[in-house]
Amino acid sequence: MEDKAKKCSSEEDKDIDAISYCGECKIYMCNKCEKYHSKLFSNHEIYNLDKSVDDIFTGFCKESNHSNKLIFFCKNHNTLCCAACLCKIEKDGNGLHKDCNVCLIEDIKNEKKEKIEFNIKYLEEISNTLNDSINNLKKISEKITKTKEELKLNIQKIFTTIRNALNNREDELLLEVDKKFEDIYFDEKIIKQLEKLPNKVKLSLEKSKNIESNINKSALFLNECIKIEKNISDINKIDDVVKKCQNSINQEIKLDTNEQINLLIEKIKIFGKIYVMNKFFFDTSIINDDLKKLAICNWIKQKINKNQIKFEKIFTLSINGSSYEDFHKYCYNKGPTLTLVKTTNNKIFGGFTPLNWESGNDLLKVDKNNQTFIFSLDLMKKFDMINNEKAAIYCDKMKGPIFGASDINIQSNMKKCITYANKYTNFLSNNNLELIGEKGDHETIDIDDFEVFKIIY
């Protein structure tokens, strides 16, 4: 929020914006007043109002109703204060630091002098990257806003689909009601037609009495005969309709919801769920599905019995190098790690271990706590160790990460991985390479990329 412009303290120029402030006189001055003031008090320190008034240091306390010089330093709040700030009686803003660890400004000067050298060096280091950080923050903010709007739009689409489905079902039921009543009872139009029948019959009777006089007029005679016969047929229809109504009057048509409406309403109340998922716990180019990231996170949490974990990427094949020496350089002695592998045919699998990858000549490491596991994200399946007496990981001085004896065995050039399903396995069932969806004794896979994360908990 922008600072509200200060006005000149002079009564004559009180509507003019101030351009400066005198710390000694505690007054704001316009251009005219500053000229006179400078002539009268050349030794006063004048502050230009080209920045926030709050940033101007006058040497006096800015707390409400305080006009004392700042001669004390509060260590608890890392701020300068005056005598009123230390007053034991709390009134009108006094006593804000009465219970704090306070010293004279002179007593803290040397300590602050030593610290400022460090702070200046730190500011010089971050000043070069500050603009980049601000720009990144803006991009993140824009992305968050976009994600929020996309989520709202998705919700609107879902409920529009539901409303359309309900409207269609309503139309279907309304049409079905009409059909049921027509089938069981009668068409309402028949009554309207039958209401006209008495007049037709009366007219037919009158004409029938004179019909013989028209016998020589063949067409006219036949027409009158047909009308009479039709009227008689319509009269007989009344009996049919009455009989049909009498037979169906005991039948009742109802809307059978079977409490479905209440169940539907309850389901609507809990339909959908807005949940927060940490999209950024994986800075990975291998997985673009947040639910898969969440699955890995939950698998690890369950294994180590921790609620909170952090992921720190320490190695990427495509960035940090494609030799086993590069893997050893970045990943050895890092504690618990997660390995993610993406093949050239877009299969994703990997493994977690709480054990250290470390240098050694064919070093087999056992995980007595049974926390090491491997997984397939294509199957969304985790594979635990069959026997925690066997090797959980295998540190080979001339290869990449190896889980089990050779369940996941990343070779020396780091672009090849072999998975076994025989006596070498410690995770998978025999003769079934579920990890990559293949069957057989073993399979050699071409690696597109793989990443290693240090797990912090």
**pLDDT digits 0-9 by tens, 169-224:** 999 999 988 888 777 665 556 666 666 667 766 766 666 666 666 555 667 667 76
Q: Do residues 336 and 441 both lie within one domain?
A: yes
Is the residue at 48 inside a domain? Answer: yes
Answer yes or no: is 35 within a domain. Answer: yes
CATH number of the domain bearing residue 43: 3.30.160
Within-domain flag for 10: no
The reply to whether 358 and 219 lie within a common domain is no
> Per mean pLDDT, which range of 42-46, 216-220, 350-354 is the poorest?
216-220
Asked if 344 and 196 sit in the same domain, the reply is no
Alpha helices, H only, 15-104: 31-40, 83-86
CB atoms within 10 A of CB 256: 6
Block residue for tokens 């070093």 = 363
Q: Indicate if 268 and 376 belong to the same structural domain.
A: no
From residue 379, how far is each of 347, 371, 418, 436 by CA, in Å?
Answer: 10, 20, 19, 9
243's enclosing H/E stretch is helix 218-248
Indicate whether 359 belongs to any domain: yes
Alpha-carbon gap, residue 259 to 45, rounded angstroms: 83
Element (H, E) at 131: helix 105-184
Six-digit token string for 377: 């994200």
**What is the number of domains present in the chain?**
3
**Is residue 1 predicted with pLDDT exceeding 50?**
no
How many C-alpha atoms does 270 have within 13 Å on its Cβ side? 5
Residue 133, domain member (yes or no): no
Angle 20-24-29 (CA atoms, 0-180°, nearest 5)?
25
* Residue where one domain finishes, among candidates 67, 83, 107: 107
The predicted model gives 24-46 an average pLDDT of 88
Tell which of 65, 86, 107 closes a domain. Answer: 107
What's the pLDDT band for 2 if we cut at 50, 70, 90? very low
What backbone torsions phi and psi does residue 151 show, to the nearest 5 degrees?
Answer: -65, -45
Mean pLDDT value across residues 46-54 = 70
- 237 token code pair: 């229809």
Q: What's the DSSP call for residue 6?
A: P
Answer whether 49's CB lies under 8 Å from 6's CB: yes
Residue 13 CA to residue 185 CA, distance in Å, equals 94
Residue 159 has pLDDT above 50, yes or no: yes
Per-residue confidence at 330, pLDDT binned at 50, 70, 90? very high
Q: Is the pLDDT of residue 111 over 70?
A: yes
Say what the pLDDT of residue 432 is.
43
Average pLDDT along the chain: 81
Instruction: Say if residue 437's pLDDT is above 60.
Output: no
Q: Which is higher by pLDDT, 141 or 253? A: 141
Closest-CA residue to 295 (of 338, 331, 334):
338
Whether pTM exceeds 0.85: no
Residue pointed to by tokens 């995980």 = 367
Q: Indicate if 366 and 433 belong to the same structural domain.
A: yes
pLDDT at 229: 76
Residue 78 in this model has a pLDDT that exceeds 80: yes
Pairing of strands 102-104, 72-74: antiparallel
95, part of any domain: yes
In a domain, residue 164? The reply is no
Among residues 223, 241, 274, which one ends one of the domains? 274
Backbone angles phi, psi at 424, to 5 degrees: -85, -10
Cβ distance 431 to 441 under 8 Å?
Answer: yes
- Do 210 and 313 share a domain, yes or no? no
Show the tokens assigned to 301.
Answer: 């949490």
Q: At what angle do helices 197-209 and 188-195 cross, to 10 degrees?
A: 40
Provide the pLDDT for residue 197: 66
Task: Assess whether pLDDT exceeds 90 at residue 366.
Answer: yes
Measured in residues, the chain has a length of: 457
Look at 75 and 237; give whichever has higher pLDDT: 75
* DSSP letters for 258-309: TTHHHHHHHHHHH-S------TTS---SS---HHHHHHHHHHHHHHHT-S--
Model confidence at 431, pLDDT cuts 50, 70, 90, reads very low
- What is the per-residue pLDDT for 53? 58
What DSSP designation does 220 have?
H
In a domain, 220, yes or no: yes
Range from 17-26, 43-52, 62-71, 181-190 that averages highest in pLDDT: 17-26
242 and 320 assigned to the same domain = no
Pairing between strand 381-384 and 402-403?
unpaired
List pLDDT tens digits, range 86-95: 888 777 668 8
Q: Taking CA 255 as the corner, what is the angle to CA 254 and CA 256, rounded to the nearest 5 degrees?
A: 105
Q: Provide the token pair at 423.
A: 């006596």
309 and 250 fall within a common domain: no
The answer to whether the beta carbons of residues 298 and 436 sit under 8 Å apart is: no
Lowest mean pLDDT among 27-31, 90-94, 138-142, 396-400: 90-94
The Cα–Cα gap between 108 and 82 comes to 15
Mean pLDDT in residue range 59-76:
81
Contacts of 229 (CB under 8 A, 6+ apart): none
Give the tokens for residue 56.
């101007």
Segments forming the whole domain that contains residue 309:
290-456
pLDDT at 275 over 80: no
Share in percent of the chain as helix, strand, coil (round to 5): 40, 20, 40
Sign of CA dihedral 232, 233, 236, 237: negative
Average pLDDT over residues 308-327: 91
| pLDDT beyond 90 at 135 | no
Q: Are residues 347 and 266 in the same domain?
A: no
Kindly state whether residues 28 and 103 are assigned to the same domain: yes
Q: How far apart are CA 111 and CA 322, in angstroms?
A: 50
pLDDT digits (tens, 9 = 90+) for 258-269: 778 888 888 888
Instruction: Answer yes or no: do 451 and 308 share one domain.
Output: yes
Neighbours of 191 (CB within 10 A): 11
- The verdict on 325 and 248 lying in the same domain is no
Q: Which pLDDT does position 137 carry in this prediction?
A: 80
